[in-house]
């Protein structure tokens, strides 16, 4: 009896499966062109052209990758120069103003008080902004301050805060992969930075920090 039931269900399943597969929908037939060769009718389908390129040599691939890296590095440097150049211009402007006032003061105490007031003023204006600069931006800023003032940052700190403080700041700068003694070499290692500065000046595309 069990075997008879099993055979019965198998037959029902087979019949149902046959009916399901036999059902056809409106999209079951795809019409295509045909070519008749003798007694044979062959389907004829147009396909898109496929472009096969010869694999580039390894040196060409390496060269393209290096060019992309160079382009990315230049764009990053260009962006950073645009960010920090206004600070360098402001630093040069402030330094000239400080020098002018200091030259008019004869008392050592008066000069010290003026320096302290100016330092506090600069901290209020720029400290928070400068803290957000990246290490690379800080390196470029040191270079550009040297460009705008004509002397390295170390000499500026030494004049304002004394040799001991300048040495401390130099030590801190070195820890952050920077060097306050750096000079600006527009025709040497800083030629790319100089080209970006000239672009900024030509476009007048910066706002001096005040």
pLDDT digits (tens, 9 = 90+) for 49-104: 877 777 777 777 777 777 888 889 999 999 999 999 998 898 888 888 777 777 77
Residue 146 covered by a domain:
yes
Please say whether the beta carbons of 115 and 55 come within 8 A.
no
> How confident is the model at residue 20, as a pLDDT?
44
- Total domains in the chain come to 1
Structural domain span for residue 164 = 76-203
Q: At which residue do the structure tokens 């050592």 appear?
A: 108
- Please give the DSSP secondary-structure letter assigned to residue 56: P
> How confident is the model at residue 165, as a pLDDT?
65
Residue 123 covered by a domain:
yes
Residue 168 covered by a domain:
yes
Residue 70: exposure state from Cβ atoms within 10 A (0-12, 13-18, ≥19): exposed
Which one has a higher pLDDT value, 2 or 143? Answer: 143
Residues counted in the chain: 210
pLDDT digits (tens, 9 = 90+) for 13-33: 444 444 444 455 565 666 767
> How confident is the model at residue 196, as a pLDDT?
93
Query: How far is the CA of 13 from the CAs of 1, 3, 8, 22, 44, in angstroms?
Result: 19, 15, 9, 14, 39
Q: Residue 184 and residue 191: Cα distance in Å, rounded?
A: 9
Residue 128 covered by a domain:
yes
Residue 129 covered by a domain:
yes
Statement: residue 41 has pLDDT above 70: yes
Alpha helices (runs of H) in 105-175, residue ranges in sequence order: 108-131, 135-149, 153-161, 163-175
> How confident is the model at residue 18, as a pLDDT?
45
% of the chain exceeding 90 in pLDDT = 17
Residue 158 covered by a domain:
yes
Residue 38 covered by a domain:
no
pLDDT digits (tens, 9 = 90+) for 103-143: 777 777 877 777 777 777 777 777 777 778 888 998 998 99
> Whole-structure pTM over 0.75, yes or no?
no
Residue 20 covered by a domain:
no
Q: Look at residues 69, 55, 75 and name the one whose alpha carbon lies nearest to residue 136.
A: 75
């Amino acid at each position: 009896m069990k075997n008879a039931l099993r055979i019965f269900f198998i037959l029902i399943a087979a019949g149902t499966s046959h009916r399901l597969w036999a059902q056809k929908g409106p999209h079951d037939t795809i019409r295509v062109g045909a070519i008749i060769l003798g007694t044979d009718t062959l389907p004829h389908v147009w396909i898109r052209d496929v472009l096969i390129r010869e694999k580039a040599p390894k040196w060409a691939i390496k060269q393209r990758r290096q060019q992309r890296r160079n382009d990315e590095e230049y764009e990053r440097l260009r962006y950073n120069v645009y960010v920090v150049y206004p600070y360098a211009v402001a630093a040069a402007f402030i330094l000239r103003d400080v020098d002018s006032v200091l030259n008019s003061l004869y008392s050592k105490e008066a000069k010290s008080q003026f320096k302290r007031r100016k330092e506090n003023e600069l901290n209020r204006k720029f400290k928070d902004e400068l803290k957000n600069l990246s290490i690379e931006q800080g390196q470029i800023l040191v270079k550009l301050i040297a460009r705008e003032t004509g002397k390295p940052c170390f000499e500026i700190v030494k004049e304002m805060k004394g040799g001991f403080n300048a040495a401390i700041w130099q030590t801190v700068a070195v820890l952050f992969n920077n060097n306050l003694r750096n000079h600006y070499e527009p025709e040497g290692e800083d030629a790319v930075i100089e080209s970006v500065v000239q672009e900024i000046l030509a476009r007048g595309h910066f706002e001096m920090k005040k």
